[in-house]
Amino acid sequence: MRKQKITISVIGGSRITPQVSTLAQAVGEMVAQCDCVLVCGGLGGAMAAAAKGAKSAGGLTIGLLPGKHKTDANAYIDIALPTTIGYARNAMVAASADIIVALPGSFGTNSEICYGLVYGRPVIDLGDWKIKGMIPAQDVDQAREKIKEIIKKLQQA
């Protein structure tokens, strides 16, 4: 029986549309409702919206910051961890997750998806990425279903 907390990294653009912000917030809320720790890059855009959602549902949020200052974190991060290694921290955002949820984003998000697949993490596609190896989901409810199945397996392992 696994004792470690299950972590879900939510990845997505730092500049996003209001629609994506709403989606990110719903995903963060869902992560907290699944009793998982939300991990993200700690900055703005999808990272802030997802962390806000998780906090609204009483969850715990971790921000893996690229720089060295905790004050770089968005307002919804409980535990700010400055990695100091710049965008190379994307490898860590991916590897730190038991499950990754990918929202729309740009090259940074794409690199995190790649690392997730390299490190064998399940990567749920809520951003129309359609990269081979990702797990497609139409909406937050479908993502929740997939996550619950994966959690069940992780807890039995």
**Residues at the interface with a copy of itself (CB under 8 A):** 3-5, 7, 37, 39, 62, 64, 68, 70, 73, 75, 77-92, 95-96, 98, 107-108, 110-111, 114-115, 117-119, 133
Collapsing DSSP to helix, strand or coil, 131 comes out as coil
Q: Judged by CB, which is closer to a copy of itself: 57, or 80?
A: 80
Q: Which residues contact 19 (CB under 8 A, 6 or more apart)?
A: none
Q: Judged by CB, which is closer to a copy of itself: 6, or 23?
A: 6
Cβ 115 to a copy of itself shortest distance, Å = 6
Q: Which residues contact 155 (CB under 8 A, 6 or more apart)?
A: 1, 2, 6
Q: Judged by CB, which is closer to a copy of itself: 36, or 140?
A: 36
Cβ 84 to a copy of itself shortest distance, Å = 5
Cβ 87 to a copy of itself shortest distance, Å = 6
